[in-house]
């Protein structure tokens, strides 16, 4: 779990670094050169602009639509993540037995621990990296959205609801909602699982929402809007996908 927290912190730091070290003040168009601008930022700018024009130049609504589209595209990966997370929870008793068996810290014992752990993962089809994949994929998207906002004047200066897309939320409403939705989504994920009793998971339950909230406070409201819509989508996904998954598992166990 510490690795996940460190990974998230590293990715957010990377976002901040790229945001500060790359050119975000020069307007972008079809003639802008550079791999990143040509294949990531400009297409994202055009996608947001396209949907905005469909709804009367409403760039805020467009970001909501684009966020939902991105989440739908990532849905298969997220379902795979949920299944892997559930499988990881199911094998915790066996994993603890292996760790207890090879508790010695010498190199030979630790090698055997790794071998048996990997064998256990393969036996149950568990991929410990599955939970990180959606995060890795989302980061370039998030950075592209940020650059598209800052380098497209129409998006940057558009006002939606009570905020301007290119500025941070003056009332901190979006960051708080983003953090709250993150907390709810993780709470739903842990409900009825052994992970809910894990102290490290309990720490993650609070650390992740705080990091998302702080992240959303200092960046443009459009990114906070992306997080809010994305997290609400994840809450719905958890309710409609994970809960039936756990119910089927429980029913299968009763039948046996």
pTM of the model: 0.75
Contact 194, 92 (CB under 8 A): yes
Q: What pLDDT score does 102 carry?
A: 78
pLDDT digits (tens, 9 = 90+) for 212-243: 888 888 888 888 898 889 888 888 887 877 66
Q: What pLDDT score does 13 carry?
A: 59
Task: Please state, in angstroms and as integers, the Cα–Cα distance from residue 47 to each residue in 4, 43, 150, 201, 228, following that order.
Answer: 31, 6, 15, 37, 19
pLDDT digits (tens, 9 = 90+) for 109-140: 888 888 888 888 888 777 766 656 666 777 78
Q: pLDDT-based confidence at 156, cuts 50/70/90?
A: confident
Residues forming beta bridges with residue 159, ordered by sequence position:
164
Q: pLDDT-based confidence at 69, cuts 50/70/90?
A: very high
Q: Which residue has the higher pLDDT, 59 or 238?
A: 59
Can you tell me which residue has the tokens 């994993």?
A: 95
Q: Which residue has the higher pLDDT, 68 or 244?
A: 68
pLDDT digits (tens, 9 = 90+) for 79-103: 777 777 777 777 778 888 888 887 7
Q: Taking all residues of the chain, what is their mean pLDDT, rounded to a whole number? A: 78
């Amino acid at each position: 779990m510490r690795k996940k927290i460190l990974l998230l912190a590293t990715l957010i730091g990377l976002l901040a670094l790229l945001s500060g070290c790359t050119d975000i003040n020069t307007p972008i168009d079809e003639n802008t050169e550079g791999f990143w601008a040509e294949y990531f930022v400009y297409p994202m700018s055009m996608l947001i602009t396209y949907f905005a024009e469909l709804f009367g130049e409403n760039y805020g609504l467009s970001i909501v639509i684009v966020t939902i589209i991105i989440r739908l595209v990532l849905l298969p990966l997220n379902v795979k993540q949920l299944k892997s997370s559930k499988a990881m929870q199911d094998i915790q008793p066996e994993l603890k037995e292996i760790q207890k068996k090879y508790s010695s810290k010498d190199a030979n014992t630790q090698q055997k621990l790794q071998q048996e752990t990997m064998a256990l993962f393969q036996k149950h089809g568990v991929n410990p990296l599955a939970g990180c994949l959606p995060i890795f994929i989302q980061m370039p998207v998030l950075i592209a959205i940020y650059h598209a906002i800052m380098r497209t004047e129409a998006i940057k200066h558009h006002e939606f609801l009570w905020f301007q897309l290119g500025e941070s939320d003056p009332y901190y409403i979006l960051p708080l909602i983003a953090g709250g939705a993150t907390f709810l989504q993780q709470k739903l994920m842990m409900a009825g699982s052994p992970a809910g009793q894990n102290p490290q998971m309990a720490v993650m339950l609070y650390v992740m929402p705080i990091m998302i909230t702080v992240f959303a406070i200092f960046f443009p409201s459009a990114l906070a809007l992306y997080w809010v819509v994305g997290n609400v989508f994840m809450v719905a996904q958890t309710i409609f996908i994970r809960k039936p998954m756990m119910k089927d598992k429980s029913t299968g166990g009763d039948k046996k």
